[in-house]
Amino acid sequence: MPITPDTLRLIEQMRRAVGSIVDNVTRSLVEAWVRAWDQMAIDVAAGIAEILQVGDGQWPSRRQIEQTARAMSALDVIAAALTRLAALVRSQTIAGAGAAARIALDGQGELIASQLPYGSTRAMAARYRRQQPDTVDAIVRRTAEQINAAHWPLAEEATAAMKRELIRGVVVGDNPRTAASRMMKNLEGEFNGGLTRALNLSRTEILDAHRQAAEIAQEDHSDVLGGWVWHAELNGTRTCPSCWAKHGTVHPLSEPGPIDHQQGRCSRTPKTKSWADLGFDFPEPPDSTPNAREVFDSLPEADRVAIMGRRRLELLDAGAIDWADLSTLRTTPEWRDSYGVAPVKDLERIAKQRAS
């Protein structure tokens, strides 16, 4: 039943391994996006220059812009590049999801064994170190479905956005040099907006694959498990208030999760039944799971503000809201439910209701 220091060590080891996968995919996609834009920038600049010349001293109409061959050709090149990048996102994410799933499957036995009495761990770990290639394949197929181009039309949406930017960019009335500079900057921003979306999707799907594999593996060990623990990373200021609040909460084994927000890095830690229930006649050691509120309260003030935001922290320190109020369940169309940070206005409403 207790989460031991060895359990925490294994959790951190697994977190680093999955984090390395996510970081490598992120690095690969960023590099590909930068190379693609660098290769297209000359054509894009030439297309913009032609648009600014076509009006013969007057700002061109939308129809004139759409008939500007070089600019439209540049958009075609961009669309083709984005299609290739979307395929890269798919392949990199699928590979990363498979690797992250294998880490979760392989690691559950050790996590379980780390919570059992010394002397029983070797037998228990051996019992649960089973390869499950079919499980990994199923998770990879699910990931591929999630990022199918039919549900994620990256090239079409980004190209349409850049076309709108071209048309919008010439009606402001600036001189041609200023307009060209602004349009080039904005087009690059629209192009890189595709990267932001790609990274969000890729990171989220890889992390979800890891959690899903842990859930499946834990179901196979239900005879010794009493549930699972929501485990957040409690060092530094990257972890959001919602994840701080959810850390350490215990959930039934049948409950999916953690249903973290997009790009959330929280993990699902198996928690064994009591030693007595498992037939071990030994006193149990205390649980070593860090108390998130105590850890947070011990942080420097600047870090506490950076994590919570000043108003949210004021409400928390005043006792106007509870620790659990920091997290709220959200429903996102075409995606699963997830827990995210409760907006300050909602927390203020809760505080007002409790004060009345």
State which of 176, 192, 221 marks the end of a domain. Answer: 221
Residues 200 and 237 in one domain: no
For range 207-216, the mean pLDDT: 93
Q: Is the pLDDT of residue 131 over 50?
A: no
Cis peptide before 258 (omega within 30 of 0): yes
Instruction: Count the Cβ atoms, other than its own, within 10 Å of residue 70.
Output: 15
CA distance 81 to 79: 5
Mean pLDDT of 19-34: 95
Write down which residue in 221, 247, 274 finishes a domain: 221
What does the alpha-carbon distance between residue 111 and residue 115 come to, in Å, rounded to a whole number? 7
100 and 127 in a single domain? The answer is: yes
Residue 2: predicted pLDDT: 82
Residues 215 and 229 in one domain: no
Percent of the chain with pLDDT over 90: 50
Task: Verify that 299 and 203 share a domain, yes or no.
Answer: no
* Residues 71 and 130 grouped into a single domain: yes
pLDDT in tens, 157-210: 667 776 676 666 555 555 666 767 777 787 788 788 888 888 998 999 999 999
63 with 129, same domain: the answer is yes
More confident residue, 240 or 158: 240
Q: Of the candidates 110, 120, 108, 109, which has an alpha carbon nearest to the alpha carbon of residue 275?
A: 120
Question: Domain residues for 329?
Answer: 225-356
Predicted confidence (pLDDT) at residue 53 exceeds the cutoff of 80? no
Long-range contacts at 245-251 (CB < 8 A, ≥ 24 apart): 245/292, 245/323, 245/324, 245/325, 245/326, 245/327, 246/327, 246/339, 247/290, 247/292, 248/289, 248/290, 248/291, 248/292, 251/227
The verdict on 198 and 261 lying in the same domain is: no
- Residues with Cβ within 8 Å of residue 213, at least 6 apart in sequence: 100, 101, 102, 103, 104, 105, 135, 136, 139
Burial of 314 (0-12, 13-18, 19+ CB in 10 A): middle
Going by DSSP bridges, is the β-strand pair 225-231/250-251 parallel, antiparallel, or unpaired? antiparallel
173 and 231: one domain? no
Q: pLDDT at position 206, please? A: 94
Q: How confident is the model at residue 47 (pLDDT cuts 50, 70, 90)?
A: confident
Domain count, the chain: 2
Both 214 and 232 in one domain: the answer is no
Give the Å distances, CA to CA, from 209 to 18, 96, 154. 10, 9, 22
pLDDT at 244 (0 to 100):
97
Residue showing tokens 């490598």: 24
Compute, in degrees rounded to 10, the torsion defined by CA atoms 234, 240, 242, 244. Answer: 10
